[in-house]
Structure 1
Amino acid sequence: MASSWLKYLSLGVLVFQTTSLVLIMRYSRTLQAEGPRYLASSAVVVAEVLKIFISMLLVFRDHSYSVRAFNSILRQEIANKPLETLKLVIPSGIYTLQNNLLYVALSNLDAATYQLTYQLKILTTALFSVSMLGRRLGVYQWLSLLILMAGVALVQWPSESPAAEEKASASAGSQFVGVAAVLVACCSSGFAGVYFEKILKESKQSVWIRNIQLGMFCLLFAFFTMLSVDGDKVFQSGMFQGYNKVTCAVVTLQALGGLVVAAVIKYADNILKGFATSLSIIVSTLISYFWLQDFDPTGVFFLGAVLVIAATFLYGYEGKAAPNPSRA
């Protein structure tokens, strides 16, 4: 009974976290406020600091809140194993790229289009799982991937209505940038997720220790990215320029994302996870239409959305063929 309660609680939290992160991030990138807008590169840095802090708290809890045991495990597993720690350099760099690209995507795409297009990470994760981990996909998985690609193609299909064409023409450049950012993020998410899983399976270290190692390099990459992309703005007005309650909410939700996914993997299964993803897409679409009012759905878009949602269900039908990790 308790496990069933935890299962649905974790799924509910996943729906809330995924939906609210996308909507609030989109809102924060389009909000017209006085003063400068917050720097996306700075938000990525702060989120990484929070992820490391939360992972350290969980390690501290796992060792009965003993400071001596906590220091000992960090020294043994991180400082005394430099080669194991260095294995996280590659996925950390890719995760940093992915996290920055998501801000670019949501600055140029409405929440509904972003949510549906980003489901292509299921495809990239599955393909990398087959090539890197030697997994075999069942008939339902391959069929779901084909349906997924068709659904995303329909979501991106241009509308033939004059008003929509005029709007699309005016924002064609930003739409292209947004879609390109999502596609690169999907590829990076798939590769980094499978690479990270491979490392976890090849070692006996806990996932929280690995998250600390990963976060250390992510923080390093994110900090240098911030300086290289927004260095002039940081030195002029500080890295926290434009921060407000909405920005803090975005950073917190992004930092908690990996923990929520870990809870779902522990307590739920692929089918229920697919249900949570589908529900998140539906909620995001409705709120994007009625509240943000930043897109006009068409019949083709609706058909594409149905196909994407169906694909997420079908993919989990035959069991755990491939992971769909999302640290961001």
Structure 2
Amino acid sequence: ESSGGESEDDYVQEKRSSKPKRRGSRRGDEEEGGGGRKRAAQKKRKRKQPEEVDWSSLTQEEASKLRLDMQIEAILKPKKAFRPKRKKKDDDEDVLDRVADEEVSRLREAMLAAAADDEQANKEKLPATSKLRLLPQVLDVLRKTALAQSIIDNNLLEGVRRWLEPLPDRSLPALDIQKEFFPILRKMEFIDTNVLKESRLGRVVIFYTKCKRVTPGIARLANDLVSAWSRPIIKRSASYRDRVIPTAEAPDRDAARGGERLNAILARARESDKNRVRKNAVMIPQRELGSYTVAPKSNIGIMRNNASVDVDIERRKKNAERLKTLTRKITTK
């Protein structure tokens, strides 16, 4: 301890003793009557003045070679002066990237370890709390947009997949994990096909779209993720204007049943009454919820006259075009 203290004191004393020496040198320069200034000026002049070359003593080849070397030196001189600053900036960026990679890599290992601990606790019929303890730290990293490249490079989404996978007893992870992870995944625009292949996250998200134990909100977010991630694969545009909705004309029921006779109707009714327990009972109608992929074709324009509406639409279009041309002329001026 004493040696450390003495060395520190010595370091301070050396610093203090060095300042009066510099002051004394300045005073000495002033006392010399400007001799020091002349020397400094001579040094500056020597630096500024280029070396004189005796071209008469050189041959033609030597002179041309020397001129070429001087031109190259003049071109490379500003680049050499600018290079250290750029190198320093690049070094700082490399240090930041290295720190981010180390942080994400450590978090990935911690996520995988927490998932393994919860699986072991679930097998032993114990509460799985390792992931919940680490959840705030994971959310803090996933919400940082600046760490997107580090998340991709270190495959942090593999840890996300492990956290979303069901436990050995087929129970889903904690609801807090589901509610936090799916909205964050929805905001990660950098997730592409390669990232999904490496992390194998798509299979877990598809499982959440089909599992009946998932809450409706989580299932809706999972469906949105599947549709967003599958667009590049099936080459479908994300713009709503480019969406193509298939349409079909509604069948004419009156025309289809117009040729049906009474005997056929009664036979169909008797066939449906065979499986009924109570013959004279009336069944309460039940609503059926179905998913429709084909939209019906609208016949509103055929049923009523839309001449006035069409005229109004054309007038509005012309006014909009006229306004666009006027604004274009004003902006060009």
Q: What TM-score, normalized by structure 1, do the two folds share?
A: 0.20
- Compare CA radii of gyration and give the structure with the larger one: 2
- Structure with more helix by fraction: 1
Question: Greater RCO between the two (CA within 8 Å, min separation 6)?
Answer: 1
Q: What TM-score, normalized by structure 2, do the two folds share?
A: 0.20
